[in-house]
Amino acid sequence: MSETSVNAEATAASLSIRAEVLDAEDALGKLRERFTLPDGLVYLDGNSLGALPAGVPGRVADVVSREWGELLIRSWDESGWWTAPERIGDRIAPLVGAAPGQIVVGDSTSVNVFKALVGAARLVEASAGAGRDELVVDATTFPTDGYIAASAARMTGLKVVAVEPGEVPSVLGPRTAAVLLNHADYLSGRLHDLPGLTAAVHAAGALAVWDLCHTAGALPVELDANGVDLAVGCTYKYLNGGPGSPAYLYVARRHQEAFDSPLPGWTSHAEPFAMTPDYVPAQGAVRGRVGTPDILSMLALEASLEVWEGVSIEAVRAKSLALTDFFLECVEAYVPAGRVECVTPRAHAERGSQIALRGGNAAGVMRELVARGVVGDFRHPDVLRFGFTPLYVGFADAERAARTLGHIYG
C-alpha cells in the first residue's frame, strides 16, 4: 500500500472517530428519533423538503377518519379547524422571535409575498403620502419573489429597483417605499444581515419585508427585536411541515390596524359568517387570511411542529454551524484539490444552514450521491447543495456525505 493510501485511510479513520465523539456529545442527537427516516440514508435536502416527523401520520389519519369522517362539519368548531391559522402561527412565532398574535398561517409563500408587498406599499402611501415610488428587491432572490415583486409594483405604481443585498443601503432614499430581502440566499446559503439592513431601511423611512424560507427553523431570526415590519416564510423546509404545507405571514403588531390586504377574503372579515356585501377587516393578524384554510395540510403542519417541544433555536444554530464546519473540513480532506469550490461563506455570521459546492458534472455527481444513499440536491448549472437540519442530521452523516463525494470525484 502506498504512503498516500495509508495517509488517506488514517485521515478517514480520524474523521470517522471524531464524528462518533461529536455525535455522542450532541445534546440534540436524540431528536432524530422524532422523525421517520429510512435506515442508512444521509438526508441533506431538508432545505428543500424536511423529513417526516414521526407523529404526523397518526395525526393526519385521525383528522381524515374521525374529524372529517365522523364529526364532519362539526370539526370546524369542535376540532378547532377554524382557529388553526392563528393557533399554528403562534406555534411558529417563538421560532422566528415573534410574540403571539402576529403570524397567520395559510396560502403559499408566493401569495403571502404578494400580500406583504402590496400591504407594505399601502401602509407607506397612507402614512408618508406621495413621493415614495420605489420597491427595492434582492436581485439574487428566488425567482418567484422577483416575479411577485414586479407584479405588485405594477399594481401599486411602484418601480422595482433590483440590487444585491449588500448594495441595498446605497440605493435607499426618500423615494424608497419598501424593501424585499431574503434572509438567506437559496443557492449559496449566504446569510444576509437582517438587523443591519432592517435598520438601514427604517433610517430611510421605508418598510422592511423579509423572506424567511431558508432560515426559519435553522437559526434565530428575532423579528420583533429587530423591528421587522412584515415577513413571510414556507413551512416545508426546516419546519418539516410536508410537501406544499401552508406558508405564513407576519405582520408586526404596530402595523396591524392599518394593514390593508390586497386579498380580502371572507375568512379575514370581522364577521365572516354574516356574509355582508361590504368588507370589514378583522382585528390583528387574522386580516392576513384569505379563503378557507387547507385543513389537511394545516393540521399536518401543526403535528410536525411538536418536534420543537423543549428545543432551543439557539442550540439548533450552534449545532448547524458545527455541522457545516465539520462537513467542510471533511470535504477538504476527502475531495481531491480543485474538484469543488465552496460558494457558501466560511464566516459564521454570513452562513445559513447549507453548504453549496460548485463542481464539474454536478448533476451527474448528485445522481450518483443519491444512488449511494446521500441525498442533497443540484442547482443549475454546477452547484451541489447540502442542507443541514440539526434536528435529525448528525456528524457521522456529514462525514459519510463528504467521504462519498470524495470517492465520486477521486
The active-site residue, picked from 114, 186, 236, 250, is 236
pLDDT number for residue 76:
98
Q: Per DSSP, which regions of 154-274 are E strands?
A: 159-163, 176-182, 207-211, 230-233, 248-251
Instruction: Give me the residue spans of the domains in the chain.
Output: 3-36+311-409, 58-308
List beta partners, residue 182. 211
Look at residue 381 and tell me whether its pLDDT is greater than 60.
yes
- Distance, CA of 110 to chain centre: 13
pLDDT number for residue 3:
56
pLDDT number for residue 8:
75
Q: What angle do CA 204, 349, 44 make, to 5 degrees?
A: 120
pLDDT number for residue 4:
56
pLDDT tens sequence across 309-368: 999 999 999 999 999 999 999 999 999 999 999 999 999 999 999 999 999 999 999 999
pLDDT tens sequence across 95-112: 999 999 999 999 999 999
Q: How far, CA to CA in Å, does 85 sit from each of 112, 249, 293, 324, 398?
A: 13, 10, 7, 34, 36
Q: Which SS3 state, helix, strand or coil, does residue 309 take?
A: coil
**Whole-angstrom Cα distance, residue 390 to residue 102?**
27
The active-site residue, picked from 142, 186, 248, 326, is 142
Please compute the mean of the pLDDT values over residues 371-396 and round it to a whole number.
98
287 is catalytic: no
Packing angle, helices 143-156 and 109-128, rounded to 10: 40
Whole-structure pTM over 0.95, yes or no? Answer: yes
pLDDT number for residue 330:
98
Average pLDDT, the chain: 96
Q: How far, CA to CA in Å, does 205 sit from each of 124, 153, 252, 263?
A: 9, 18, 16, 26
Please compute the mean of the pLDDT values over residues 176-196 and round it to a whole number.
98
Please compute the mean of the pLDDT values over residues 231-249 and round it to a whole number.
98
Please compute the mean of the pLDDT values over residues 380-388 and round it to a whole number.
98
Pairing of strands 383-387, 377-379: antiparallel
Look at residue 1 and tell me whether its pLDDT is greater than 60.
no
pLDDT number for residue 12:
83
**Whole-angstrom Cα distance, residue 378 to residue 39?**
23
The active-site residue, picked from 138, 145, 185, 211, is 211
Is the separation of the CB atoms in 336 and 353 below 8 Å?
Answer: no
**Whole-angstrom Cα distance, residue 287 to residue 265?**
9
DSSP for residue 14: H
What is the four-CA torsion angle of 39, 26, 55, 220, rounded to 10 degrees? -120
Please compute the mean of the pLDDT values over residues 134-159 and round it to a whole number.
96
Packing angle, helices 84-92 and 295-304, rounded to 10: 30
pLDDT number for residue 366:
98
302 falls in which pLDDT band (50, 70, 90)? very high
211 is catalytic: yes
Same fold, 3-36+311-409 and 58-308: no
Overall CATH class of domain 58-308: alpha beta
Cell of residue 368, nine digits: 450518483
Look at residue 217 and tell me whether its pLDDT is greater than 90.
yes
The active-site residue, picked from 237, 287, 289, 403, is 237
The kind and range of the H/E element at 341 are: strand 340-342
77 is catalytic: no
Higher pLDDT, 66 or 1: 66
pLDDT number for residue 129:
72
**Whole-angstrom Cα distance, residue 230 to residue 210?**
7
**Whole-angstrom Cα distance, residue 245 to residue 216?**
14
Percent of the chain with pLDDT over 90: 95
Please compute the mean of the pLDDT values over residues 168-179 and round it to a whole number.
98
Percent of the chain with pLDDT over 70: 98
pLDDT tens sequence across 124-133: 999 877 799 9
List beta partners, residue 163. 138
386 is catalytic: no
Q: Which SS3 state, helix, strand or coil, does residue 207 take?
A: strand
Please compute the mean of the pLDDT values over residues 173-199 and round it to a whole number.
98
Written in H, E and C, the secondary structure of 315-344 is: HHHHHHHHHHHHHHHHHHHHCCCCCEEECC
The active-site residue, picked from 132, 289, 385, 403, is 385
Is the separation of the CB atoms in 391 and 222 below 8 Å?
Answer: no
Fold that domain 3-36+311-409 belongs to in CATH = Aspartate Aminotransferase, domain 1 (3.90.1150)
